[in-house]
Amino acid sequence: MTLNPQAVGLESSESTLRFDWKTLALYALGIGAKRSELDYLYEAWGPKVFPTFAVVPGYPVLFDLLGRSGGSLLQVVHATQSVRVLGPLPRSGELSTVGKIVGLYDMKKFAQMVFETRTSCEGRPVFETEWSMFFLGEGGFGGPRPPKSPIPKIPSNAQPVFEVEELVPTEQALLYRLSGDFNPLHADPAFAAQVGFSEGPILHGLATYGYCARALIHSALGGDATRLRAFHAQFRKPIWPGEKLRTEGFLVDGAYVLRARAEGREDPVALCAADIVPPQ
């Protein structure tokens, strides 16, 4: 298939998701939440909501628009992700999400397509997200370059203000996919090998994204997830279940910037930046 430039402006139909405390707790477990984080796991204590849950109601919309873009789904790589929280969630309800393809950019050897979603809970806006995907081998058609990344560069002499190291369980991708991303790349060894990952299925980039957000919330925000109003990420390298993930947080011009690495590998797995609400 060939990516269709006319897909820019394409809108999805509305997708709905009924959720309750089990939906929220399952997502929290999927991004590594531990027994010590009962506020996010136990119905009698909430549960609280990790802001990166905003991606979950967007999955059906994203897959719909990807399928209608004309590009090969075997050549798609998740490039960047942003979420913005507009309001709190109740402990149960119905989420309604719509999406749109808003940009297509020529990166020479590949194309970058940008999607946006908007989610409401029973008529009240709660989330906005932006997703960008690389379509490998689809470049060379000309046009503008993509917008500048919202993630500042970490100075070479910067020292982390916090570090969090977690072992990613070997079953973590199988757990995370239950929240809605059923790409076989994260479950099927034969499929993973077919698309170039002979080591086996990789962890979802958005699971790593959630791990990074948790590290920030617990290390710099006193465990108060409501202070994380927006979270941006660039995905650089895969990580495999069973590896250790080390997340380092830096203050760059007064804002938190995160770098996540797999143990024993120098190149970052992900780089993230956060928009923070000051403490009350």
Catalytic annotation, residues: 181, 186
What is the DSSP pairing of strand 255-262 with strand 15-19? unpaired
The span from the CA of 74 to the CA of 235, in Å, is 18
From 201, 189, 211, select the one nearest 269 (Cα to Cα): 211
Q: Which amino acid is at 183?
A: N
Calpha distance 255→241 (Å, rounded): 30
Residues facing 260 on adjacent strands: 247, 270
Query: Quick one: which of 214, 233, 232 has its CA closest to 172?
Result: 214
- Residue the block writes with tokens 């919309």: 61
Instruction: Give strand pairing partners of 18.
Output: 94
The answer to whether 129 and 117 have CB atoms below 8 angstroms apart is yes
| Helices 21-30 and 205-220, packing angle to 10 deg | 90
Residue with tokens 């499929």: 191
21: which 2 tokens?
């405390």
How far apart CA 61 and CA 108 sit, in angstroms, is 27
Alpha-carbon span 101 to 71, nearest angstrom: 13
CB–CB of 20/89 below 8 Å? Answer: no
Torsion (CA) 181, 214, 253, 232 in degrees, nearest 10: 10
